[in-house]
Amino acid sequence: MATIASEAPPSQVDTPASSHESQLITAPKTKKRSQETQPGIVYLSRIPTFMKPRRIQQIFGQHGEIGRTFMQPEDKNSRQARKKKGGSKTVVFCEGWVEYKDKKIAKRVALTLNNTRVSGKKRSRYYDDLWSLKYLHRFQWAHLAGQLEYERQVQKQRVRAEVVQVKKETNLYLKNVEKSTWLDRMEKKKKKQGQEWTHRLHEYKQRTSRDHQSTLHVQRSGKVSSSLLGKIFASKE
């Protein structure tokens, strides 16, 4: 018998997938949020006398990167008064704000430098001066601009009120001067005519107080009220 050779079925062998179909196993990407450094502001409640803003920037710039700085100059009236007394003509700053690019540095500077000597050298004029610093929590530079604008508006309103008050006083003074000159003219005119000149005096009756009324009542009736006796003995005690 002839043997029939049966063709064996092709072996099912797993062929490697193409490069396009290959699955690449990658590690999960971790999203790292770039935390931007937030600025912080240090408040200087007092600035050493005759210290310039540039010097303050040099001192505080040694501890970290500085952004903006602002120094509040003294009032013009106080400066003019100092000039009249023969004092220095240089501008004196009373308070200031220093902005650091990183608020952590601002906090550290406020904690370490507060109540410390401005200068460690004994020959320095700032040897006896102490820093008075405070970190302003959640305070931004825009808040400072708004505060300064508010203070300017308040100062303008105060000046306007003072000007109005001065105008009232000057108008009243001029009115009284005109009245006095008119009275002098009338007096001279009446004297030339041989007539008597008498000024009109307005008489105002003053209202009596309660104590005065009680004393008048005692004088009229001859009896002393219990309330009056209580006041007298209380005052002696």
Note whether 107 and 40 are within 8 A (CB): yes
Name the H helices within the chain.
Answer: 53-61, 76-84, 103-113, 141-192, 210-221, 226-236
For residue 37, give the nearest of 122, 125, 99 by alpha carbon: 99
144-174 core/surface letters (b: 16 or more CB in 10 A; e: else): beeeeeeeeeeeeeeeeeeeeeeeeeeeeee
Rounded Cα gap, residues 133 and 97, in angstroms: 10
User: Which tokens sit at 103?
Assistant: 């608020």
- Predicted pLDDT of residue 202: 62
**Which residues of the chain carry a pLDDT beneath 70?**
1-35, 199-204, 217-237
- Predicted pLDDT of residue 88: 80
- Predicted pLDDT of residue 112: 93
Note whether 70 and 27 are within 8 A (CB): no
Rounded Cα gap, residues 141 and 68, in angstroms: 9
- pTM of the model as a whole: 0.51
Note whether 183 and 199 are within 8 A (CB): yes
203-224 core/surface letters (b: 16 or more CB in 10 A; e: else): eeeeeeeeeeebeeeeeeeeee
**C-alpha distances out from residue 110 to 128, 140, 141, Å:** 19, 16, 17
Rounded Cα gap, residues 64 and 220, in angstroms: 86
Rounded Cα gap, residues 151 and 156, in angstroms: 9
Rounded Cα gap, residues 82 and 99, in angstroms: 31
Rounded Cα gap, residues 128 and 69, in angstroms: 24
